[in-house]
């Protein structure tokens, strides 16, 4: 694996984020970790992931926060979802990982293995 550093957005309590952290550490890849409980991802960063995967892929519809906000009935446009995801990072599917222009959402070890 040729990546020397990745940027990862997630929370310490997320098991997939912890697995991703372990995956990269085992391969001696430095991680710039952004804890979404401390600091939300920027709208520009979120837009980058949404352009590649779509907004639906970014949203964890099973998260406690998503349900508590009552968003399961919501039909918003992309700009509104961007605002919500920036304000409520706990409804994001994590980890969000960026290696240069390469992006993944969730646990994606097969993809990460192919990064060079």
pLDDT tens per residue across span 3-39:
689 999 999 999 999 999 999 999 999 999 999 999 9
CATH classification at residue 60: 3.40.30.10
Asked if the model's pLDDT at residue 113 lies above 90, the reply is yes
Whole-model pTM: value is: 0.90
Backbone angles phi, psi at 20, to 5 degrees: -65, -45
111 is a domain residue: no
- The predicted-structure confidence for 28-83, as pLDDT tens digits, reads as follows 999 999 999 999 899 999 999 999 999 889 999 998 899 899 887 788 888 899 99
C-alpha distances out from residue 7 to 23, 80, 92, 110, Å: 13, 25, 16, 17
Residue span of the structural domain in which 30 resides: 5-106
How many domains, in total, are found in the chain? 1
Distance separating alpha carbons of residues 19 and 3, to the nearest angstrom: 17
pLDDT at 2 over 80: no
Cis peptide before 95 (omega within 30 of 0): yes
Residue 20 lies in a domain: yes
Task: Say how far apart CA 26 and CA 86 lie, in whole Å.
Answer: 31
- Provide the 8-state DSSP code for 101: T
């Amino acid at each position: 694996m040729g990546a020397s550093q990745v940027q990862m957005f997630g929370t310490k309590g997320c098991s997939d984020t912890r697995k991703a952290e372990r995956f990269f550490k085992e391969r001696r890849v430095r991680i710039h970790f952004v804890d979404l409980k401390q600091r939300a991802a920027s709208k520009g960063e979120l837009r980058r992931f949404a352009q590649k995967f779509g907004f639906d892929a970014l949203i964890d519809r099973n998260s406690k926060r998503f349900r508590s906000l009552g968003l399961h009935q919501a039909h918003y446009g992309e700009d509104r979802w961007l605002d919500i995801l920036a304000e409520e990072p706990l409804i994001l599917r994590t980890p969000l990982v960026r290696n240069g222009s390469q992006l993944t959402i969730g646990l994606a070890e097969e993809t990460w293995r192919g990064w060079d």
